[in-house]
Amino acid sequence: MNEKILVVDDEESIVEFLETNLVKDNFSVVKAYTGESGIDKVQKEAPELILLDVMLPDTDGFEVCRRIREFTNVPIIMLTARDEDMDKIIGLEVGADDYVVKPFNPKELIARIKAILRRVNPVGGSSREQRIRVMNLSLDIFRRKAWIDDKLVEFAPKEYDLLLVLASNPDRVFSREELLKEVWGYEFVDNRSVDVHIKYIREKLGKPMSECIQTVWGKGYKFVDISKSKK
């Protein structure tokens, strides 16, 4: 394993606690105690995942997340002492992949880290060139990239995973709970996370592609090739 995890938190005791538990699971750890140093470490160290505290001495974690998203889609898990819905929504809106409230169970946190890394770096697959094509959308499964026509569209890791699950199963209705299991890999996440990610996927796809992701009221979401349905 030995994936590199960047921990950005100004509380040294929390950083040491996280480092101890991560190292036990064979992760390597890079540490930063301010938002600015965290951004610098992302650029210099290229971690596989970031644990980012919301409350930092120089700038809040939401702004740090927003700035990181300007140059990389590395997975980010926000850490916070406040269990408030608005904080979770803001975190997802600025590009975070997950949100964990302190105090947390280290085993649960590591389970979430591993689930995200499995989604971002899948092992196996029959073809390095396997693609899904729907209308003018093309998804490269191995390289985890998406194009509309010839233009690359940047999706956050969870956004890409969610789009891939839906596009890989056309016309199938997924409940929010099923999408949480498929994409997040566990059930203890607010299912509104799915709605937030769907919103941003639609915005990035633009029309008419965004119309392929359809809301099935009272049930969930499905992906439909609207070019076929209009014939």
pLDDT digits (tens, 9 = 90+) for 69-125: 888 888 899 998 876 667 777 877 888 888 888 888 888 899 889 888 877 765 544
Contacts of 217 (CB under 8 A, 6+ apart): none
Q: Within a 10 A sphere around the Cβ of 170, how many other Cβ atoms?
A: 14
Residues 87, 98: Cα–Cα separation, whole Å: 12
How far is residue 197's CA from residue 163's CA, in Å, rounded to a whole number? 9
Tell me what pLDDT residue 186 has: 60
Q: Where are the domains of the chain?
A: 4-120, 131-229
Which tops the pLDDT comparison, 174 or 186?
A: 174
Confidence tier at 129 by pLDDT (50, 70, 90): very low
Q: For 2-35, what is each residue's pLDDT tens digit?
A: 789 999 999 999 999 999 999 999 999 999 999 9
pLDDT in tens, 190-215: 668 889 999 999 999 998 999 999 99
**pLDDT band (50, 70, 90) for residue 189:** low
Cα 172 to Cα 169: distance, rounded to the nearest angstrom: 6
Topology alike, domains 4-120 and 131-229: no
**Band of pLDDT at residue 127, cut at 50, 70 and 90:** very low
Higher pLDDT, 47 or 190: 47
- Mean pLDDT of all residues in 157-175: 90
pLDDT for position 131: 78
Class of domain 131-229: mainly alpha
Task: Give the C-alpha separation, 184 to 153, whole Å.
Answer: 21
CATH topology of domain 4-120: Rossmann fold (3.40.50)
Smallest CA-to-CA distance from 73 within 159, 163, 135, 172 is with 159
What local confidence, expressed as pLDDT, does residue 183 receive? 83
pLDDT given at position 145: 83
